Amino acid sequence: MRLDFRLMLFVVLCGVELLGEWCSFFPLIVVSKPLLMPALAFWWYGNKKEFGSEQVWVLLALLFSTLGDVLLLFSRQYTSFFLLGLGAFLVAHLFYILTFWKLKKGDGYLIAFPLLTVPFLLYLIGLLAYLWSGIPAPMRWAVVLYGAVIMVMALSALHLRRKVPENAFWTVFFGAVLFVLSDTMIAINKFRQSIPSAGLLIMSTYVLGQYGIVRGLLGISAARAASQQSQE
């Protein structure tokens, strides 16, 4: 997969946004952050092969991620924006889950190795227990729901193993894990304790996570297109 101007646009915007986080310069953040996922969607759309309905779901995941990015930008000024942003990202994760499950043909990896779900469940339970006292009562079940959905997203990525090319699988899976890590830091920073350089760490893992998911899906798309051509 060659490096093209679409990917370079995403990389430059990431650099600008992360510079803003590092310098704590909000005008730089507010200009660049809403453009990150549209740039990634532009790269996806320009490089995807025939991919069925999944191509629309990926674009919708990136669209709702953009909405979540914009809402969370102003969550300090408007408290309700945090829950709205959470809702937007929840929908984005649901579209990623749909994509991963559509790509899986037959029984997935977790059917053969169900115990691999245990670390993810323990992680979620441990994180919620750690955060619980700091989460305002009206927000608790929304946070529980979001945590459950993002764990399902990560498990759905793991479920792809041995159903898609190995390199593409690992790229998608590590992207999903980085997305979970980014959301974990958001939750800890908001509900439990301040994390030094939180914005920089959260956004670094977020953009790498989204990039990993999309790059891995492009790898799967290319492999399937090549397989179809070889059968013709």
* Element of type H or E holding 215: helix 198-231
**Residue 1 scores a pLDDT above 60:** no
Q: How far apart are CA 41 and CA 61, in angstroms?
A: 9
Q: What is the pTM of this model?
A: 0.93
Q: How far apart are CA 91 and CA 96, in angstroms?
A: 9
Which structure tokens are listed for 159? 């479920």
Which structure tokens are listed for 162? 């041995």
Q: How far apart are CA 129 and CA 114, in angstroms?
A: 24
Q: What is the DSSP string of 46-82?
A: HH--S-TTHHHHHHHHHHHHHHHHHHHHTTTT-THHH
Q: What percent of the chain has pLDDT over 90?
A: 78
Q: How confident is the model at residue 23 (pLDDT cuts 50, 70, 90)?
A: very high
CA count, 13 A, side-chain hemisphere, 212: 21
Top-ranked range on mean pLDDT: pick from 42-56, 73-87, 196-210: 196-210
Q: How confident is the model at residue 223 (pLDDT cuts 50, 70, 90)?
A: confident
Interval 150-160: pLDDT, tens? 999 999 999 99
State the virtual CA torsion across 128, 130, 134, 137 in degrees, nearest 10: 30
When pLDDT is averaged across residues 155-167 and rounded to a whole number, the result is: 93
Q: How confident is the model at residue 3 (pLDDT cuts 50, 70, 90)?
A: low
Interval 35-79: pLDDT, tens? 999 999 999 988 876 666 778 899 999 999 999 999 999 888 888
pLDDT score for 127: 97
pLDDT score for 230: 65
State the virtual CA torsion across 58, 60, 66, 67 in degrees, nearest 10: -150
SS (H, E, C) 165-208: CHHHHHHHHHHHHHHHHHHHHHHHHHHCCCCCCHHHHHHHHHHH
Contact predicate 150/93, CB 8 Å: yes
Which has the closest alpha carbon to 190: 93, 81, 91, 96?
A: 81
